[in-house]
């Protein structure tokens, strides 16, 4: 495979500016993640110590195999919600290695509101279990939860993907034969009690772990019965009398050691086998990514430069390099795994859409996982393109992408707007993992564009009621819309709402994708099969695409036709 | 809001899931991870790679450590390894973390008096059923001209004396077990 | 060459000396019988002996001290002679008498000689009376009332010793006269406990003393010869660790004087059979310390440099034969060093160690006198000496090198030994230069302590790679994750 030849001038003024800007963004990301992960009020930490409990991060680190990577997901969930008082939505979720197995770790963070489930906490847990189902990954639950945050119960209780979905997902995992191990390291109350109960194995920590559908106050209120936590749902009762828990642990560390021992004994089904060679680092320094991504989101750049700093040896076998040039397609390797890369170099045209659809099918047939690198404002609009059937072509792309059986991974590198977000394997299309970069923007329409449209609409409204608006007045209307739009299309907002699985520092992308890809191979890859592609025949005649004549099959000239 | 930063990764000493080998009474934590030409050895203060061991038979092998090859003679006796390298012999005892963590909590260690070293019982100064208090002499042992008094770890009642006068015992052997005094 | 008056010898001992004696018995065409306690059933001597008779007692040691059982066993085996080895009953005059009364030859000196030299005070007086040098001393028995003041008058440093003692038990060095009375009390109680005799004597302690002893051999015809000296200064708490011959401390003239003195003492005592006269040597002066009326542990050193089989000589002497070589025929050739391998851990305060000998392989090119076998359990029932490694070479340097290589090549796994410690001594500058005295190890605690962290990583690596659980943990991790290592996003 040929290497990408970078044309980047790393000493240019532009590069330097970009680099400064992006490094600052990366530092900001690092700091916000650090705060979300570790910064806690002293009284909370004191309370944990008094209760003889470990901090959630210490639990997770003790659970994981030393010297292995841990891909944490949605670290900054809820960073824009609940007045910022629920960092990480009080959950720690990630893909890690336990006793050599790839597992999903799901841990309640009792240092945040006692580990209570907020609406976004529930969403994060459901997402974790969805990942487990889609990728057939065993799950280890570290349970320590105060219960649902009742003031917001309307947002997490009744709907299809609300808290019930956690228990449903657990049942489905079990049905699929994917094991779960739970440790009750604190209270597991009401719905939370079902997490260990629905796990194939569960361990309960003496003295701190407790499982009950209603705690002592609830029981007292309901029936007048007086009973202690220990008696109602403590470790000895559940291991010795009710049989709800399988193992009694004398300490949290003991519980974690038991959990590791259990995971070590779980079956290791064969992973989907895809083409893999010896790994090779990129030829170009991944740090150069900082200099490539433009400071101004409107400035275009060549995605191949990004690819060159992500893939093994910077080698890239480009597919149809001369056709549909706004979509870069090609084969590469990531830590040895062969992948198909689909990346935006501009808006999507008919050709790019068709190329993409074809390439996806090639990859699917070849059992090559797909990596979508998004930087797209949408599809091309305009008369010519509509007449050429851009909507149909876009539909074919979406049909191919949706139907692809190989794992899909998506990284929103820069802009992600309109139908482009969808066509490039956005969240709704179940890529196994979606990540964003700090400066990414995701929205139905670009902020500027949207602000312009909305201002225009508002101005027309006011005009109907009589009166014209001055330029200044227009600005006054436009600015807040722009602000709000920018705010709600930022990577931080998106990740807060768990529209993605986390913001990555660009230089972490390679390792993150490798871990994600490896995890995704735990699920079998089905044979390719798709829905209906809206198709028709066209012929290229003297510089124009033309519909053939009514007599089907009759070529117009010897230049050949392009059957689609 | 007061903040407390923890280190990103707990120091080796805090995580008990590492493998532990006890050598001369000191616990050493380590971890092996695979690498190109064998394994990487992660110790508390350093990482050595590559390391490789080829056994020629069950008592003779060749250790390759950071490029140097060392002939090794060894005997594996359950969880105890006796190893001879370059004229130096050491005994390493593998500690299963599960067993260590389980026993730390489960057993009440203070109700036994253990032998600090191998030796012979000279005299026993208590008898079963006798009330004893912390610090009281239970027996006198001898080890190569060293006479040691074995003292009671805490108040209680002598339950059983496991060795008679003249019997020899190993290091860590339980010499006397007590029961908590009935109140 | 007439045949011997007995054809069977009973060995009232165990371990390496029993094996050593059996080897010579075989060489001489004699039948070997041995007594043993149950715990020694699997030791090499039992298998090698022609007859093995079990004896029992409350403790293993007590069994080897049971005179009645031993004599009965000798009778049962039709033994015509009995070899007591060293330690146990070898210097017990009552036992020697009982053996003789039972009609057997006692392979050792006469009971009278044993009694004379066994009482340290009596021996000392005897030597002094005969004009041989002794250290200034005070003997309690002479005048208990003035004992302490006489002791004080000798001046510090001095040594408090039980008069019935030996082998270092109960001995105390007093450097500060204020502690003299405490030392006397402690030594007295130990003397009472170990030897049943609380009498003491006190003598001048020579600073930086060297322990030099001379091997002597006598017969029933009044012939006494010496087989040169051995230096045994590398000791710990009066327990010898390394012995060698010739002594690097002696000039030829001094050597001659000490050896002649030893012969003189032995002759004055009408000494028969093998014995050793021990001296304390320092600053050009030497004093009589004590005489051991038995074969010594370190006798192989003398055998290597003289080429004479001491056990055979003992048997001949006991058989009533005259020595068949004169003093001038005895030549010391080259240099010999013996190191004692103990089941103990010098690195941890010399604490005794136990275990099963899982793997045992002796080094080549040296003499090994061993009482252990692969598969044997080492317990604290007896003295922890496992084996002796004796090297012989033309020069001292060569002998040291040989010994050093031997202790490094020795494979003994399953029971911790002092092999590493021996290697460190044999590589130590002071030892190599022959510059040491009996306080050498005490003054150089770093030799015993060793360097615990030195080379530890190689051991940890071996242990990790040999332990299934550790390897499995490593092998379980997928290649990708092992390559990425501890990464966090």
> Which partners does chain B have (≥3 C-beta pairs < 8 Å)?
A, C
pLDDT at residue B6, rounded to an integer: 37
Q: DSSP 3-state assignment of A126?
A: helix
Give the DSSP per-residue string, A489-509: TBHHHHHHTTSSS-B--GGGH
Closest residue to B76, CB basis, from C352, C381, C466: C466
Of C152-161, C198-207, C253-262, the range with the highest mean pLDDT is C253-262
Provide the token pair at A319.
């597919």
For chains A and B, count residue pairs whose Cβ atoms are closer than 8 Å.
70
pLDDT at residue A537, rounded to an integer: 57
Provide the token pair at A126.
């459901």
B118 closest CA partner among B173, B160, B77, B80:
B173
Chain C touched by A257 (CB under 8 Å) = no
pLDDT at residue C465, rounded to an integer: 96
The pLDDT of C302-310, averaged and rounded, is: 97
Q: Binning pLDDT at 50, 70 and 90, where does residue C142 land?
A: confident
Q: Which candidate in C39, C381, C417, C474 is best for mutational testing of the B interface (most B CBs within 10 A)?
A: C474
The C-alpha R_g of chain B, in whole angstroms, comes to: 22
Q: Rounded CA gap, A205 and A199, in Å?
A: 16
With contacts defined as CB-CB under 8 Å, which chain B residues touch C474?
31-34, 39
Closest residue to C354, CB basis, from B83, B88, B118: B118
Phi and psi at A20, nearest 5°, equal -60, -45
Sign, CA torsion A118/A120/A124/A127: positive
Chain A touched by B53 (CB under 8 Å) = no
Of residues C379 and A88, which shows the higher confidence score? Answer: A88
Quote the crossing angle between the two packed helices C67-76 and C93-101, to the nearest 10°: 30
pLDDT at residue B4, rounded to an integer: 40
- The pLDDT tens digits of the residues spanning C46-101 come to 999 999 999 999 889 999 999 999 999 999 999 999 999 999 999 999 999 999 99
- The pLDDT tens digits of the residues spanning C222-249 come to 999 999 999 999 999 878 999 999 999 9
The structural domains of chain C, ordered by start, are 8-107 (3.40.50.20), 136-204 (3.30.1490.20), 210-449 (3.30.470.20)
- The pLDDT tens digits of the residues spanning A291-321 come to 999 998 888 899 999 999 999 999 999 999 9
CA atoms within 13 Å, Cβ hemisphere of A360: 31
Q: Rounded CA gap, B76 and B78, in Å?
A: 6
Q: DSSP 3-state assignment of A400?
A: helix
Q: Binning pLDDT at 50, 70 and 90, where does residue C1 land?
A: very low
- Taking residue C125's Cβ as centre, other Cβ atoms within 10 Å add up to 18
Closest residue to B72, CB basis, from C352, C356, C462: C462
Q: Which of 515-554 (A) contact B at CB < 8 A? A: none
Q: Rounded CA gap, A71 and C110, in Å?
A: 87
Of residues C121 and C105, which shows the higher confidence score? Answer: C105
Chain C touched by B64 (CB under 8 Å) = no
Provide the token pair at A215.
């705690």
Locate tokens 């089905």: which residue? A526
In total, chain C counts a number of residues equal to 489
Q: Rounded CA gap, A497 and A416, in Å?
A: 16
pLDDT at residue C139, rounded to an integer: 79
Provide the token pair at A153.
């119960």
Max Cα-Cα span within chain C: 95
In A230-273, DSSP assigns E strands to: 247-249
CA-CA distances (angstroms) from residue A263 to A64, A259, B15, C380? 11, 6, 18, 45
pLDDT (tens, 9 = 90+) of chain A, 564 residues, equals 899 999 888 889 999 999 999 999 999 999 999 999 999 999 999 999 999 999 999 999 999 999 999 999 999 999 999 999 999 999 999 999 999 999 999 999 999 998 999 999 999 999 999 999 999 999 999 999 988 999 999 999 999 999 999 999 999 999 999 999 999 999 999 889 999 999 999 999 999 999 999 999 999 999 999 999 999 999 999 999 999 999 999 999 999 999 999 999 999 999 999 999 999 999 999 999 999 999 988 888 999 999 999 999 999 999 999 999 999 999 999 999 999 999 999 999 999 999 999 999 999 999 999 999 999 989 999 999 999 999 999 999 999 999 999 999 999 999 999 999 999 999 999 999 999 999 999 999 878 888 888 888 888 887 777 767 778 888 888 888 888 888 999 999 999 999 999 999 999 999 999 999 999 999 999 998 888 888 765 666 677 766 654 444 444 444 444 433
Catalytic one of C172, C188, C230, C294? C294
The three-point CA angle A541-A545-A551 to 5° equals 75
Q: Rounded CA gap, C337 and C7, in Å?
A: 34
Q: DSSP 3-state assignment of C209?
A: coil
Residue A520 backbone class (left: φ over 0; alpha: ψ -120 to 50; beta: rest): alpha
Percent of residues, chain C, with pLDDT higher than 90? 76
Closest residue to C486, CB basis, from A69, A264, A335: A69
Put simply, the answer to whether A99 touches C487 (Cβ < 8 Å) is no
Q: Rounded CA gap, A104 and A215, in Å?
A: 29
Q: Are A256 and B15 in contact (CB under 8 A)?
A: no
β-pairing, B88-95 with B80-85?
antiparallel
Q: Rounded CA gap, B33 and B41, in Å?
A: 7
With contacts defined as CB-CB under 8 Å, which chain C residues touch A67?
482, 485-486
Locate tokens 């979509």: which residue? A327
pLDDT at residue A539, rounded to an integer: 60
Q: Are A61 and B9 in contact (CB under 8 A)?
A: yes
pLDDT at residue B104, rounded to an integer: 60
pLDDT at residue C121, rounded to an integer: 83
Of residues C20 and B170, which shows the higher confidence score? Answer: C20
pLDDT at residue B10, rounded to an integer: 36
Q: Rounded CA gap, B12 and B95, in Å?
A: 16
Chain B touched by A511 (CB under 8 Å) = no
Q: Is there a catalytic annotation at residue C204?
A: no
CA-CA distances (angstroms) from residue A29 to A24, A56, A69, A472, A506? 9, 21, 19, 36, 11
Provide the token pair at C133.
């040098």
Chain B touched by C411 (CB under 8 Å) = yes
Q: Are A275 and A368 in contact (CB under 8 A)?
A: yes
Put simply, the answer to whether A72 touches C482 (Cβ < 8 Å) is no
Chain A touched by C469 (CB under 8 Å) = no
Put simply, the answer to whether A68 touches C480 (Cβ < 8 Å) is no
Low-confidence residues of chain B: pLDDT under 50: 1-13, 107, 182-183
Characterize C172-182 residue by residue with b for buried, 16 or more Cβ atoms within 10 angstroms of its Cβ, and e for exposed.
bebeeeeebee
pLDDT at residue C278, rounded to an integer: 96
pLDDT at residue B12, rounded to an integer: 35
Chain B touched by A480 (CB under 8 Å) = no
pLDDT at residue C167, rounded to an integer: 65
């Amino acid at each position: 495979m040929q290497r990408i030849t970078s044309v980047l001038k790393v000493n240019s003024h532009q590069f330097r500016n970009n680099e400064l800007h992006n490094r600052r963004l990366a530092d900001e990301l690092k700091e916000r993640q650090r705060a979300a992960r570790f910064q806690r009020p002293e009284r909370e930490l004191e309370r944990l110590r008094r209760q003889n409990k470990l901090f959630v991060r210490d639990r997770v680190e003790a659970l994981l195999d030393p010297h292995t990577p841990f891909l944490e997901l949605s670290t900054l969930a809820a960073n824009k919600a609940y007045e910022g008082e629920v960092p990480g939505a009080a959950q720690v979720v990630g893909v890690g290695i336990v006793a050599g197995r790839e597992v999903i770790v799901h841990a309640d963070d009792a240092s945040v509101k006692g580990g209570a489930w907020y609406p976004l906490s529930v969403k994060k847990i459901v997402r974790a279990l969805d990942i487990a189902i889609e990728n057939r990954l065993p799950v280890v639950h570290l349970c320590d939860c105060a219960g649902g945050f009742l003031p917001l119960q309307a947002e997490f209780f009744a709907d299809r993907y609300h808290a019930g979905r956690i228990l449903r997902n657990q049942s489905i995992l079990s049905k699929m034969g994917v094991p779960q191990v739970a440790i009750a390291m604190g209270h597991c109350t009401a719905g939370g009690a079902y997490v260990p109960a629905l796990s194939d194995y569960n361990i309960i920590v003496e003295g701190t772990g407790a499982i009950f559908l209603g705690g002592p106050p609830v029981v007292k209120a309901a029936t007048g019965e007086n009973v202690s936590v220990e008696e109602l749902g403590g470790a000895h009762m559940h291991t010795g009398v009710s049989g709800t828990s399988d193992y009694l642990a004398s300490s949290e560390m003991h519980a974690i050691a038991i959990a590791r021992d259990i995971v070590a004994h779980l079956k290791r089904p064969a992973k989907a086998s895809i083409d893999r060679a010896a790994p090779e680092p990129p030829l170009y320094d991944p740090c150069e990514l900082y200099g490539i991504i433009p400071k101004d989101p409107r400035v275009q750049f060549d995605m191949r430069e990004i690819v060159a700093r992500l893939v093994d040896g910077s080698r890239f076998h480009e597919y149809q390099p001369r056709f549909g040039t706004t979509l870069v397609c090609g084969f590469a390797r990531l830590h040895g795994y062969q992948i198909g890369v689909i990346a935006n170099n501009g808006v999507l045209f008919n050709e790019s859409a068709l190329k993409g659809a074809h390439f996806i099918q090639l990859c699917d047939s070849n059992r090559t996982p797909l990596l979508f690198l998004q930087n797209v404002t949408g599809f091309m609009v305009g008369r010519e393109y509509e007449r050429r059937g851009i909507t149909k072509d876009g539909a074919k792309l979406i049909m191919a992408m949706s139907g692809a059986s190989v794992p899909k991974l998506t990284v929103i590198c820069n802009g992600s707007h309109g139908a482009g977000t969808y066509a490039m394997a956005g969240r709704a299309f179940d890529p196994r993992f979606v990540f964003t970069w700090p400066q990414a923007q995701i929205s139905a329409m670009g902020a500027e564009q949207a602000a312009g449209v909305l201002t225009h609409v508002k101005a027309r409204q006011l005009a109907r009621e009589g009166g014209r608006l001055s330029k200044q007045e227009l600005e006054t209307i436009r600015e807040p819309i722009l602000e709000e739009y920018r705010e709600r299309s930022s990577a931080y907002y998106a990740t807060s709402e768990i529209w993605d699985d986390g913001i990555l520092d660009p230089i972490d992308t390679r390792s993150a994708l490798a871990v994600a890809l490896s995890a995704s191979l735990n699920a079998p890859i089905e044979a390719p099969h798709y829905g209906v592609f809206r198709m028709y025949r066209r012929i290229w005649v003297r510089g124009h695409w033309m519909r053939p004549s009514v007599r089907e099959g009759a070529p117009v000239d010897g230049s050949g036709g392009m059957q689609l | 809001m007061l903040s407390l930063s923890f280190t990103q990764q707990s120091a080796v000493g805090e995580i008990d899931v590492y493998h532990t080998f006890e050598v001369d009474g000191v616990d050493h934590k380590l971890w092996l991870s695979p690498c190109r030409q064998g394994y990487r050895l992660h110790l508390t203060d350093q990482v050595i790679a590559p390391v490789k061991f080829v056994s020629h038979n069950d008592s003779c092998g060749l250790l390759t450590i950071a490029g140097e090859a060392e002939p090794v003679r060894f005997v594996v006796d359950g969880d105890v390894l006796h190893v001879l390298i370059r004229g130096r012999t050491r005994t390493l005892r593998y500690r299963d973390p599960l067993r260590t963590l389980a026993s730390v909590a489960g057993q009440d260690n203070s109700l036994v008096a253990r032998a600090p070293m191998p030796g012979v019982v000279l005299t026993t100064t208590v008898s079963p059923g006798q009330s004893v208090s912390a610090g009281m002499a239970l027996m006198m042992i001898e080890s190569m001209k060293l006479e040691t008094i074995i003292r009671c770890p805490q108040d209680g009642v002598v339950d059983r004396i496991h060795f008679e006068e003249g019997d020899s015992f190993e290091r860590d052997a339980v010499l006397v077990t007590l029961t908590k005094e009935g109140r | 060459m007439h045949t011997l008056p007995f054809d069977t010898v009973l060995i009232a001992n165990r371990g390496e000396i029993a094996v050593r004696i059996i080897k010579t018995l075989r060489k001489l065409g004699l039948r070997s019988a041995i007594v043993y306690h149950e715990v020694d059933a699997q030791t090499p001597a039992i298998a090698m002996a022609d007859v093995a008779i079990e004896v029992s007692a409350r403790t293993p040691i007590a069994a080897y001290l049971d005179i009645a059982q031993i004599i009965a066993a000798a009778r049962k085996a039709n033994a015509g002679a009995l070899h007591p080895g060293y330690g146990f009953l070898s210097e017990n005059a009552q036992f020697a008498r009982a053996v003789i009364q039972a009609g057997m030859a006692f392979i050792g000196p006469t009971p009278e000689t044993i009694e004379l030299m066994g009482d340290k005070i009596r021996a000392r007086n005897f030597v002094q009376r005969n004009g041989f040098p002794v250290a200034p001393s005070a003997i309690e028995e002479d005048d208990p009332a003035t004992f302490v003041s006489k002791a004080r008058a000798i001046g510090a440093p001095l040594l408090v010793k039980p008069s019935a003692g030996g082998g270092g038990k109960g001995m105390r060095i007093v450097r500060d006269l204020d502690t003299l009375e405490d030392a006397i009390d402690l030594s007295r109680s130990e003397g009472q406990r170990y030897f049943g005799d609380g009498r003491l004597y006190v003598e001048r302690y020579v600073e930086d003393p060297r322990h030099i002893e001379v091997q002597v051999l006598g017969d029933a015809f009044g012939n006494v010869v010496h087989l040169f000296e051995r230096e045994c200064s590398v000791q710990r708490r009066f327990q010898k660790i390394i012995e060698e011959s010739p002594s690097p401390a002696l000039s030829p003239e001094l050597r001659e004087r000490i050896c002649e003195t030893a012969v003189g003492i032995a002759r004055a005592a009408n000494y028969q059979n093998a014995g050793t006269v021990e001296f304390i040597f320092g600053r050009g002066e030497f004093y009589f310390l004590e005489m051991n009326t038995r074969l010594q542990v370190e006798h192989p050193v003398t055998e290597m440099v003289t080429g004479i089989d001491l056990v055979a000589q003992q048997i001949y002497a006991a058989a009533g034969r005259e020595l068949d070589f004169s003093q001038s025929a005895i030549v010391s050739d080259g240099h010999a060093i013996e190191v004692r391998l103990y089941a103990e851990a010098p690195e941890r305060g010399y604490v005794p160690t136990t275990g099963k000998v899982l793997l045992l392989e002796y080094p080549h090119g040296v003499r090994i006198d061993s009482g252990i076998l692969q598969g044997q359990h080492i317990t604290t029932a007896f003295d922890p000496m496992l084996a002796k490694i004796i090297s012989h070479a033309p020069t001292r340097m060569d002998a040291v090198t040989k010994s050093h290589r031997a202790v490094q090549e020795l494979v003994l796994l399953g029971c911790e030994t002092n092999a590493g410690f021996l290697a460190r001594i044999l590589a130590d500058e002071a030892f190599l230069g022959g510059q040491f005295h009996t306080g050498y190890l005490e003054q150089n605690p770093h030799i015993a302590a060793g360097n615990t962290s030195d080379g530890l990583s190689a051991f940890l690596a071996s242990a990790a790679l040999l332990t299934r659980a550790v390897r499995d943990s490593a092998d379980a991790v997928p290649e990708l994750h092992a390559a990425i290592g501890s990464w966090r996003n």
